[in-house]
Amino acid sequence: MNFNKIYALGLRHLYLIMNSFPRVLDLIYWPTVQIFLWGFISKFFTLNSEYYNNTVGVILTAAILYDFLFRASISFNMMFLEEIWSRNFTNLFIAPIKIREIIAALTLTAILRTLIGLVPAVLISVPLFGVSILKLGLPLIFLLLSLYLFGITLGLLVTSGLLRYGPSFENIAWASLFFLAPLGCIYYPIEILPFALQIIAKGLPLVHIFEEMRNILMTETVNYLNIFKSIIISLIYFCLGVVVFYLSYFGAKKRGTLINMGE
């Protein structure tokens, strides 16, 4: 790994953000809207639900964590799509940068985009709704790590699709997370799902992450085994994502789709 090259590719996306105020605004806007929406829903449930009545902010914390996952994945996809939209794809793939360095650069830069969007939203949730995700304590770091790995994995799978099918795969990029959300048990316990879907859901890290988040906030105890399980599952998916990305890259070379890939 050459960190100068990873830095160079990261710098390309940093410049892109810095050169455009509307782009920064766009990054902040959607997470903030989410916080407002789920903040009010959370407040309503806290006052009217038996399940949530003693726990302020469970739904809002879930919304923040889910948005973190969503932003990580979308950031990864967006950075890849930027290369296609700007017709820079060929220049990137003929530069002396290894494929693993491209993946590393996108993975590391995605966190910057994610945090630009999410930090202001997290900060406003404290004075507006009295909810702070820091209440999760130290486990928050591990929950975020697991979510980030899974978000990047989804990004890798979508970009693999872009390499395989070209820009027409773009719509899948936007839909990918909504497809998994029902199985993620973000806002409800896993028991709500039919038994067959529970089995599938347990194969995803999301269930373990959100179950544990609820556990910490509602019982004030931490089950590190659950967190560890979610990280391991995320890591397995991440490795699979990398393999799929490489396969798509070699497939694209075979089909010649790396030449002149653009809008």
Q: 86 or 219, CB closer to other proteins?
A: 86
Binding mask 53-92 for other proteins (x = CB under 8 A): -----------------------------xx--xxxxxx-
- Chosen residue from 38, 68, 76, 93 binding other proteins by CB under 8 A: 93
Cα–Cα dist 242/76, whole Å: 13
Q: 171 or 260, CB closer to other proteins?
A: 260
Per-residue CA distances from 182 to 105, 178, 202 (Å):
30, 8, 12
The answer for residues whose C-beta is within 8 angstroms of residue 159's C-beta and 6 or more apart is: 76, 77, 80, 106, 245, 248
Q: Are 68 and 150 in contact (CB under 8 A)?
A: no
> Read out DSSP for 64-85?
HHHHHHHHHHHHHHHHHHHHHH
Q: Which two tokens stand for residue 257?
A: 């789709």
Binding mask 3-22 for other proteins (x = CB under 8 A): -xx-xxx-xx--xx--xx--
Cα–Cα dist 212/171, whole Å: 32
Query: Is residue 96 close enough to count as binding other proteins by CB under 8 A?
Result: yes
Query: Is residue 247 close enough to count as binding other proteins by CB under 8 A?
Result: no
The nearest distance, CB 90 to other proteins, in angstroms, is 4
The residues that touch other proteins, with contacts defined as CB under 8 A, are 2, 4-5, 7-9, 11-12, 15-16, 19-20, 82-83, 86-91, 93-99, 250, 253-256, 258-260
